[in-house]
Amino acid sequence: MAIISNTVGYLDGETLLEGFFVYDDAIEGRRPAVMINHAWAGRNDFVKEKALKIAELGYFAFAVDMYGKGVLGKSNDECEKLMQPFIDDRSLVLKRMKAALYAIKLMPWVDDKKIASIGFCFGGLCVLDLARSGADIKAVVSFHGLLTAPENSQSEQIKAKVLVLHGNDDPMASVEDIFALQRDLTQAGADWQFHNYGNTMHAFTNPVANDADFGTVYQADADKRSWISMQNFLTEVFE
């Protein structure tokens, strides 16, 4: 195994973005690719570590940049200011996701017929929006994602298989949000799964999440179980 990693610049209009990619050079030819979407802080070490783990599974991993090269939030206030424009105008989410999808398809190691997208927190919202757009990708996986639909959500047929990994005690997604998502996925003809982890709050995959009052708490069992579920799901969709 020879894990190779690097960064690559790509554009959304005039905004320069910087993706981080990882692959195993011991694997010959093109291989399935997994886009990884960051939480509200930006493309930080958390998603870089996830990209490395994805590459170890034999996939090409591409950590998406939603904010711009080098842009990272260092406090909750900064993170919220970075994320809020995308929450207010969900067309921006889709533009950035399509820019990343275009960039990954240009990579010489990628089988562009076998692409999936996973995301954490805000990144979960991003991958679900990509699926809702009818994008021709294999699958999306949301880890403790924000679940609300875009205000002007189109009734596109969803081509991607959908896996939602959710904490039952997550204060950032209401019961109504969950019901609406499941209804929308069904109406759009999606092949979907929703895994609900008991006694689990938001950000359950993040070992430094430790603010119960804010609703973000790491949960080791849910972290492990959700990653295994994702692996099994990707094995299925990339057959």
User: CATH fold of 3-237, please?
Assistant: Rossmann fold (3.40.50)
* DSSP tag of 75: S
Confidence of residue 156 (pLDDT cuts 50, 70, 90): confident
**What is the average per-residue pLDDT within 12-20?**
97
Q: Please name the helix (run of DSSP H) or strand (run of DSSP E) that holds residue 119, with its range, or none.
A: strand 110-120
CA distance 45 to 51: 10
Specify whether the CB–CB gap between 30 and 107 falls below 8 A. Answer: no
Model confidence pLDDT, tens digit, residues 180-232: 999 999 999 999 999 999 999 999 999 999 999 999 999 999 999 999 999 99
Give the sign of the dihedral formed by CA 191, CA 113, CA 147, CA 93.
negative
Return the higher-pLDDT residue of 224 and 154: 224
The residue ranges of every structural domain in the chain are 3-237
Model confidence pLDDT, tens digit, residues 86-130: 999 999 999 999 999 999 999 999 999 999 999 999 999 999 999
Burial per residue of 142-162, b for 16 or more beta-carbon CB atoms within 10 angstroms, e otherwise: bbbbbbbbbeeeeeeebbbbb
Burial per residue of 71-109, b for 16 or more beta-carbon CB atoms within 10 angstroms, e otherwise: bebeeeeebeebbeebbeebeebbebbebbbebbeebeb
